[in-house]
């Protein structure tokens, strides 16, 4: 006993780090502070790599980017009070998109809890609505159990962020930890779907004439892209995806009709509107897809909803058949069951879909430098393993429309919360997670300035991220709405004092190149790719570029502007 304790003094901090190592954590995105001193001291003796962002928000988005491109649980760490509250946007981002995170926060010593002490914030209270679960550790002996539970909760079922709040004395105290026995009696993870219902779905599929698969982030989370592709190919089923579902089928796949919803393709929206069977997998009928008009969405269709979260079924749209389960397991069983039924007769349907595709392709002017052509050009040049991160706004929608994402987990974008500032730190997390793959960030001058400080993190670790900045000097998406729906009365969207972003990059020791003509585009992108380190390409684009087509807010998805 005494030999042992002489060999290694176990504190809350060391027990925590050992528990994290047991969960396979290789990197933490963390920012230190007063109450975390015991943990940062112990971190020096741990195998876990520590990445220091320049703002806690950067840390949590980086952990999110790490999680999205690996499927593993991302881990971030911040000190009490302002450190913790700076995480809130990132936690909400992950929660909305069902991204698994374990968020560690320092807390004031237990004796001071609730006394408005220095740097105290009730972070478990603040984050209750945006976490899957949270813990305030009151007994250091329970750390192994809590960590194990947190990772299990974050990564299973419908993934999401779990927060562990760690008072300083809990981290500093010497402790004999209790075993890591999980006690989650109130938590069930659906796995296989109901076989009877899967047979029902197979029958409905074989009898329908105008089927559409509507695939979302749940397909990516479940690793169900491959089986979805097999299913689509076997029964000639057309597929539309949500923003979060991008990558579940290769962009060039003949069965893919594109993204559905507000800035989706005309074909995808027409197909959903006209289909007689909608197979919804891992989606939540978000208002950016349905226009908030559940009652006018896919009204001719028998709707089948497959999801792992029982609360999503019937939340927006009441399906005729619902299957609770893991998308991969359900689709695998459905694929097998389809062997015993006739494939649907969909030749006429495909004729119609092809005609729509032909009449309403995504398009843009080729005679000037447009964001769309920049995005397509990057897609041509970087290869299919590249990871694409985006910020939020026009450039995000153009990327969703025009970038050829070929694989699951190669696309990191804030869908549900729509968090400007997400992209740059998410690219950091993605590059740390997958050092051998190229990471490209598409961003705008609005979003970019919301977490621009992370250029320092990129420089410090020489992360070879290629930043494609669509610089139009305005908040483009808001401006587009003011242009279309507020008679061009532009309010609060003009950046009258943008910095010189090339010089900003250079100030951080990052290569910067300005691109302001069509002729330079290809060579600048080629140069950026060749350059071994990080590069920022500052593309000067017109503020008049619009994201089209577009469903006006509150209109049914067939009524698209810019068809």
Q: Could you confirm whether 188 is annotated as catalytic?
A: no
The yes or no reply on residue 321 touching another protein (CB under 8 A) is: no
- The helix/strand/coil state of 278 is strand
Contact map string, positions 495 to 534, toward another protein, x by CB under 8 A: ----------------------------------------
The reply on whether position 553 binds another protein by CB under 8 A is no
Q: How far is the CB of 129 from another protein (least distance, A)?
A: 5
List, as one string, the DSSP characters of 287-322. Answer: HHHHTT-GGGSSTTSEEEEEES-GGGTTTSS--SEE
**Residue 124 binds to another protein (criterion: CB under 8 A):** yes
User: Is 56 one of the annotated active-site residues of the chain?
Assistant: yes
| Phi, psi dihedrals of residue 277, rounded to the nearest 5° | -145, 125
Contact region with another protein (CB under 8 A), list: 217-225, 311-319, 395-403, 480-488: 311-319
* 536 contacts 513 by C-beta, under 8 angstroms: yes
Catalytic, out of 373, 477, 550, 560: 477
Please indicate whether residue 477 is annotated as part of the active site: yes
How many angstroms separate the CA atoms of 478 and 561, rounded? 16
Asked if omega into 335 is within 30° of 0 (cis), the reply is no
Out of 311, 488, 497, 532, name the contact with another protein by CB under 8 A.
Answer: 311
Identify the CA nearest to 224 among candidates 134, 307, 147. 307
Contact 557, 285 (CB under 8 A): no
Q: Does 310 bind another protein (CB under 8 A)?
A: yes
| Residues 426 and 68: beta-carbon distance below 8 Å | yes
Q: Indicate which residue of 118, 176, 380, 494 is catalytic.
A: 118
Interhelix angle for 88-96 vs 56-70, to 10°?
20
| Closest CA relative to residue 392, chosen from 88, 93, 84 | 93
Place of tokens 């009696």: 185
Among 10, 37, 126, 184, binds another protein (CB under 8 A): 184
Of 13-21, 220-228, 312-320, 445-453, the segment contacting another protein by CB under 8 A is: 312-320
Q: How many CA atoms lie within 13 A of 168 on its CB side?
A: 20
- By the rule CB under 8 A, 318 interacts with another protein: yes
Only segment of 130-138, 190-198, 219-227, 329-337 that touches another protein (CB under 8 A)? 130-138
Taking CB under 8 A as the binding criterion, the range among 39-47, 127-135, 436-444, 467-475 that sits at the site for another protein is 127-135
Is residue 402 annotated as a catalytic residue, yes or no?
no
What is the DSSP secondary structure assignment for residue 273, as one 8-state letter? H
| Catalytic pick among 18, 23, 29, 56 | 56
Positive/negative CA dihedral, 265, 271, 272, 274: positive
Whether 119 is catalytic is yes
Residue 344: CB atoms within 10 Å: 21
Show the site string, 136-165: x = touches another protein by CB under 8 A, - = not: x----------------x------------
Active-site amino acid positions: 56, 118-119, 168, 477
Q: Which residue ranges make up the site for another protein (CB under 8 A)?
A: 124-125, 128-129, 132-133, 136, 153, 184-187, 309-311, 313-315, 318
């Amino acid at each position: 006993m005494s030999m042992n304790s002489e060999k290694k003094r176990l504190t809350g901090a060391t027990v925590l780090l050992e528990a994290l190592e047991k969960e396979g954590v290789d990197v933490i995105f963390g920012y230190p502070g007063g109450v975390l001193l015991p943990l940062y001291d112990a971190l020096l003796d741990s195998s876990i790599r520590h990445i220091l962002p320049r703002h806690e928000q950067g840390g949590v988005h980086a952990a999110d980017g790490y999680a999205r491109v690996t499927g593993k649980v991302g881990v971030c760490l911040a000190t009490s009070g302002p450190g913790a509250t700076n995480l809130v946007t990132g936690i909400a981002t992950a929660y909305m998109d069902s991204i698994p995170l374990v968020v560690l926060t320092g807390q004031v010593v237990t004796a001071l809890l609730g006394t408005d002490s220095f740097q105290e914030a009730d972070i478990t209270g603040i984050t209750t609505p945006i976490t899957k679960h949270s813990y305030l550790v009151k007994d250091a002996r329970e750390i192994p159990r809590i960590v194990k539970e947190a990772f299990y909760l974050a990564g299973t079922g419908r993934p999401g962020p779990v927060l562990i709040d760690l008072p300083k004395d809990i981290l500093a105290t010497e402790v004999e930890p209790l075993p890591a026995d999980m006690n989650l009696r109130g938590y069930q993870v659906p796995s296989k779907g109901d076989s009877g219902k899967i047979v029902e779905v197979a029958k409905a599929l074989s009898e329908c004439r105008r089927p559409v698969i509507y695939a979302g982030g749940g397909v990516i989370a479940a690793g169900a892209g491959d089986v979805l592709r097999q299913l689509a190919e076997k029964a000639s089923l057309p597929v539309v995806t949500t923003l979060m579902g991008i990558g579940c089928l290769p962009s060039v796949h003949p069965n893919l009709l594109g993204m559905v919803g507000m800035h989706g393709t005309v074909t995808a929206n027409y197909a959903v509107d006209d289909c007689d069977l909608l197979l919804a997998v891992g989606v939540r009928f978000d208002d950016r897809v349905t226009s908030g008009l559940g009652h006018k969405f896919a009204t001719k269709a028998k709707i089948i909803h497959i999801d792992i979260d029982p609360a999503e079924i019937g939340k927006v749209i009441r399906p005729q058949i619902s299957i609770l389960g893991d998308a991969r397991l359900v689709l695998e069983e459905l694929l097998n069951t389809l062997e015993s039924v006739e494939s649907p007769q969909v030749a006429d349907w495909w004729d119609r879909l092809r005609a729509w595709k032909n009449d309403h392709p995504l398009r843009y002017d080729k005679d000037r430098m447009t964001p769309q052509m920049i995005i397509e050009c990057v897609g041509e040049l970087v290869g299919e393993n590249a990871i694409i991160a985006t910020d939020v706004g026009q450039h995000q929608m153009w990327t969703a429309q025009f970038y050829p994402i070929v694989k699951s987990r190669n696309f990191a974008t804030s869908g549900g919360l729509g968090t400007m500032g997400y992209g740059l730190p998410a690219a950091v997390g993605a590059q740390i997670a997958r050092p051998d793959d190229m990471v490209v960030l598409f961003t705008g001058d609005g979003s970019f300035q919301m977490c621009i400080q992370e250029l320092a993190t990129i420089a410090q670790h020489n992360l070879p991220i290629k930043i494609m900045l669509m610089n139009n000097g305005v908040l483009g998406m808001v401006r587009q709405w003011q242009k279309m729906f507020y008679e061009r009365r532009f309010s609060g969207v003009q950046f009258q004092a943008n910095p010189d972003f090339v010089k900003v990059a250079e100030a951080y020791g990052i290569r910067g190149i300005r691109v302001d003509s069509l002729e330079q585009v290809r060579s600048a992108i080629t140069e950026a790719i060749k350059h071994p380190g990080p590069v920022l390409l500052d593309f000067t684009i017109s503020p008049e570029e619009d994201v089209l087509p577009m469903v006006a807010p509150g209109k049914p998805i067939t009524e698209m502007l810019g068809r």
